Amino acid sequence: MWCEIDKKESKKAGEDAMDITPEPSREFEMRLIIWETKDVEMMDFEGTSDVYVRSFLNLDDDHLTDTHWRCKTGKASFNWRNLISVKSKMSKDDYNLTI
């Protein structure tokens, strides 16, 4: 915020005040498309892994794809869309997308 002080006789003194109210918060929808994974580490003792993708901006609102059970190659094929709600007035630290 700032403050300008002008003499009564100056041109600016007669101007209307500027509206500096903050812009209202708006909601948007971010669409994250997940097509495939590769080189996923095999974590099960049988040499397989259950592959899924989790994504979130906030820990409270996470999104999961379906699961490819007992994947042996580390490759999984998806056609999945995660719809994530985003508010325009979030702080810059709130925009960290984690996948």
**Sign of the four-CA dihedral 65, 58, 32, 81:** positive
Asked if 74 contacts 42 with a C-beta cutoff of 8 angstroms, the reply is yes
What pairing do the DSSP bridges indicate for beta strands 54-56 and 62-64? antiparallel
91 pLDDT more than 80:
no
For residue 99, the 8-state DSSP code is -
12 pLDDT more than 80:
no
How far is it, in rounded angstroms, from Cα 59 to Cα 11?
53
**Can you count the helices (H) and strands (E) in the chain?**
0, 6
13 pLDDT more than 70:
no
Q: What confidence tens digit (pLDDT) does each residue in 28-41 have? A: 888 989 898 888 88
Q: What confidence tens digit (pLDDT) does each residue in 45-71 have? A: 888 888 888 888 877 788 888 888 888
Residue position matching structure tokens 């490759």: 75
